[in-house]
Structure 1
């Protein structure tokens, strides 16, 4: 939850459906950033 809060402390939208979409976008961004930071190992040989 702390990582989600790093992208913004408050939700912009007041409508529940839009809030859900906003949170999903934030989670997708965090997943993408996490994937970029994970090292890829390749077996040699």
Structure 2
């Protein structure tokens, strides 16, 4: 499985970082203008 991490007591945590951005890339307008990730896996919301 991709994007998984095993914790204590054999618990499996699934995470998805489909799109992410570096926090210091905010522009004066308060919006993010760049991102990295896989657009094909973005939720439709």
**TM-score bin (small chain):** under 0.3
Structure having the higher strand fraction is 2
* Larger relative helix fraction: 1
TM-score by length of 2: 0.22
Whose radius of gyration is greater, 1 or 2? Answer: 1
